[in-house]
Structure 1
Amino acid sequence: MAVLRAIVQDFVETSEPVGSRALLERHNLGVSAATIRGDMAALEEEGLVTAPHTSAGRIPTDAGYRLFVDRLASIKPLRPAERAAIAEFLRTAVDLDDVVDRTVRLLSSLTHQVAMVQYPSLTRSTVRHVELVPLGPTRLMVVLILNTGRVEQRVVDSPVDLAGADGEDRLARVRSAVNAIAVGRGLAEAAAGLETLPDQLEPVDRGLARTVATLLDEALVEEREERVVMAGQANLVRGNEFRSGIGEVLEALEQHVILLKLLNQVGPDGGAVAVRIGHENPYAGLHSTSMVTTAYGPADETLGGLGVVGPTRMDYPSTMAAVRAVAAYLSQVLAE
């Protein structure tokens, strides 16, 4: 394991096959060159390293990287200065779009890989508040605010006059009734509850309540495409890691459905970080890559996933630490 660890570390750093002499010079393994050569031969026989050509040093295989990752005793945490910078950068975002954009750019910058962040999933969202804002005597803006910070706004013609004290009182009653039903519920549950809202109110308020309920029903249950935001695609062409296979990788990354499936396979499990190496990725276009992903969300609630894609020659400990840290701070920001 010590020899395998040394080969992985040297190859990640230099991108050159690693020989026994280099291992002796760079690592204090405490054994002879003959012992190292014997260990390298044993690793090759087990399929954990391979020689790219005759008389060359060794490079890790996908199986070698997997064993290296599985044997990591712990993920080294980021330095305090790095953690403080991440927290400050995300907390100064102005809205959800800005939070997601900052997160993906930050993750790409920290790892030097392609970063991806899934927008908070609407299927896992709950209603935080519904606001009714009069825009005139007969125009009404309905504002739906979700627990993720996502905001939907719709404008509709009001069936009743909203001006004056009577209009304000009517709006207050309908607003209170809507929030009593919807707040804290998932979108489908809230939509179902609002179907009976008009019948629960006095006749004078039913027309306005029916209009608001219909509008919210459309906003709550209409089909929405889940979104993945990416940054750092230029990192793929640095170092000539993929050679002729770069087109297949880029084509796979353009398929957001694929990325969403991979991100949604990551459970909260205490902030666990998942690593898929080479052919462990279920899509052929990503067989030359590694993916490091995790879930984010406040407490035990999963709102989405984030992670990075890069070559299998990746600094796994640092990448895993960055992915875990960014997910933790994103979760904190969304919980505030």
Structure 2
Amino acid sequence: MVSERGLQVLQAIVQDYVDTREPVGSKAIVERHAFGVSAATIRNDMAQLEDEDLIAAPHTSSGRVPTDKGYRVFVDHLAELRPLSGSQRNAIAALLDGSGDLDDLLMRTVRGLTRLTGQVAIVQYPSFARATVTHVELVQLGGGRMLVVVVTDTGRVSQRLTIVRHEFDDADLARIRAELGSLFVGRTVRKGMQRAESHLASLAPDPGPLPEALTTLAQVVVEELDEFRQDKLVLAGSANLARSESDFRGSIYPLLEAIEEQVTLLKLMSEMVPDDQGLAASIGRENEQFGLTEASVVASDYDATGARARVGVLGPTRMDYPTNLAAVRAVARYLTRLLEEDEAGR
């Protein structure tokens, strides 16, 4: 059982190791921290921490570094998070305010978070399977090209260019738009897809340009709505892994692969267990099943008009947990507020 002072020594070791990248010895702890005890006493505390597998010696006769278990105990015993400075909070507001649709907002979110933390920033799209389609618009661009725009009540907007091979006058275009509206508008993403797929399956083949265009465009909307209900991530700051490569004992390739594939990170993010503040951390060997034993992820829940999702950062286990947790919490709260204001304004 680690004593209260032992936990404080562990905290000092974590903080100093994160700051210096150097193993931490008892003499350095006495010099840098006001424990009011001798180096010999600190060595005894460190011996107990080592027995509990919370710190380890990377080399003979060296100082000590935190283990994955040590980082976990440190995070679990954080009394408070390091608050963001006024300039950091202003930077979040400046970057996120004035964003356009949800895609733009989430891209700004990860760009801002990676600047704040120096880590890979990740944000989950909320699942919009229960969102309601509010508008389907068609814009004829000439040459048989048609822009299909789909909007939901959550602010999600999709735009896709497709080819219909025919030009339509305003009356025919209005008919197609009305037909699509009857299939999708006012229905949830899931029910709109089901209705449209059933309708398309029941149609007899018709070579006419109007039915052919309607079938093509309805299928485009179905495919776009299927994207709406898919879990996916937006990421930024992958280059930060290369800058911190010395913090990884092995290759950073598994992390780069996880970033590219996304499936691993989606599963990891969805399985992290949050505390009562909506914060979660998954550290080192806790990520073994995902092949990311040398990485940590810290995340915070945000609310997108009833659909919960997460925003977080990915980096080496030697990361500044208090600052990173504070950053993801602040960004998540600001993101929630913007989405709530957007919903109220519609």
What is the TM-score normalised by the length of structure 1? 0.79
1:262 equivalent in structure 2: 268
Query: What letter is aligned with 1:150?
Result: V
Question: Larger deviation: 3-12 or 259-268?
Answer: 259-268
- CA distance 1:153–1:233, change in 2 (3 Å): closer
> How many angstroms apart in 2 are the aligned matches of 1:157 and 1:235?
44
1:151 equivalent in structure 2: 158
Matches within 5 A, 1:116-127: 116-123=122-129, 125-127=131-133
- CA distance 1:77–1:210, change in 2 (3 Å): same
> How many angstroms apart in 1 are the aligned matches of 2:275 and 2:48?
36
State the SS of the aligned residue for 1:281. Answer: helix
2:237 equivalent in structure 1: 232
> How many angstroms apart in 2 are the aligned matches of 1:222 and 1:309?
25
2:336 aligned residue (328, 331, 335): 331
CA RMSD of aligned residues (A): 3.7
Does structure 1 conserve the Cα–Cα contact (< 8 Å) formed by 2:305 and 2:339?
A: no
- CA distance 1:78–1:157, change in 2 (3 Å): same
CA displacement 1:116-153 (0-9 Å, x = unmatched): 233444546442433355779x9976421132423144
1:30 equivalent in structure 2: 36
Matches within 5 A, 1:137-216: 142-146=148-152, 147-153=154-160, 163=170, 177=182, 181-182=186-187, 185=188, 187-193=189-195, 216=221
* Count of residues in correspondence between the two structures: 323
Does structure 2 conserve the Cα–Cα contact (< 8 Å) formed by 1:174 and 1:209?
A: no
2:205 equivalent in structure 1: none
Query: What letter is aligned with 1:63?
Result: K
Query: What letter is aligned with 1:238?
Result: R
2:278 aligned residue (272, 294, 307): 272
1:256 offset after TM fit, Å?
Answer: 1.5
CA displacement 1:15-58 (0-9 Å, x = unmatched): 11111111111111122222211111111111111112222111
2:325 aligned residue (313, 320, 323): 320
1:70 equivalent in structure 2: 76
> How many angstroms apart in 2 are the aligned matches of 1:319 and 1:222?
30
> How many angstroms apart in 2 are the aligned matches of 1:144 and 1:270?
36
1:85 equivalent in structure 2: 91
Does structure 2 conserve the Cα–Cα contact (< 8 Å) formed by 1:113 and 1:235?
A: yes
Does structure 1 conserve the Cα–Cα contact (< 8 Å) formed by 2:96 and 2:105?
A: yes
Does structure 1 conserve the Cα–Cα contact (< 8 Å) formed by 2:129 and 2:229?
A: no
CA displacement 1:192-234 (0-9 Å, x = unmatched): 34578899xxxxxx97997575654454347987543332222
> How many angstroms apart in 1 are the aligned matches of 2:164 and 2:218?
13
2:104 equivalent in structure 1: 98
> How many angstroms apart in 2 are the aligned matches of 1:65 and 1:93?
36
Query: What letter is aligned with 1:313?
Result: R
Does structure 2 conserve the Cα–Cα contact (< 8 Å) formed by 1:48 and 1:62?
A: yes
> How many angstroms apart in 2 are the aligned matches of 1:284 and 1:135?
46
Does structure 1 conserve the Cα–Cα contact (< 8 Å) formed by 2:135 and 2:181?
A: no
1:203 equivalent in structure 2: none
Matches within 5 A, 1:243-322: 243-266=249-272, 272-283=278-289, 285-302=291-308, 304-322=309-327
Does structure 1 conserve the Cα–Cα contact (< 8 Å) formed by 2:133 and 2:186?
A: no
- CA distance 1:62–1:162, change in 2 (3 Å): same
1:74 offset after TM fit, Å?
Answer: 3.0
Does structure 1 conserve the Cα–Cα contact (< 8 Å) formed by 2:302 and 2:335?
A: yes
What is the TM-score normalised by the length of structure 2? 0.77
Does structure 1 conserve the Cα–Cα contact (< 8 Å) formed by 2:284 and 2:295?
A: yes
> How many angstroms apart in 1 are the aligned matches of 2:82 and 2:21?
23
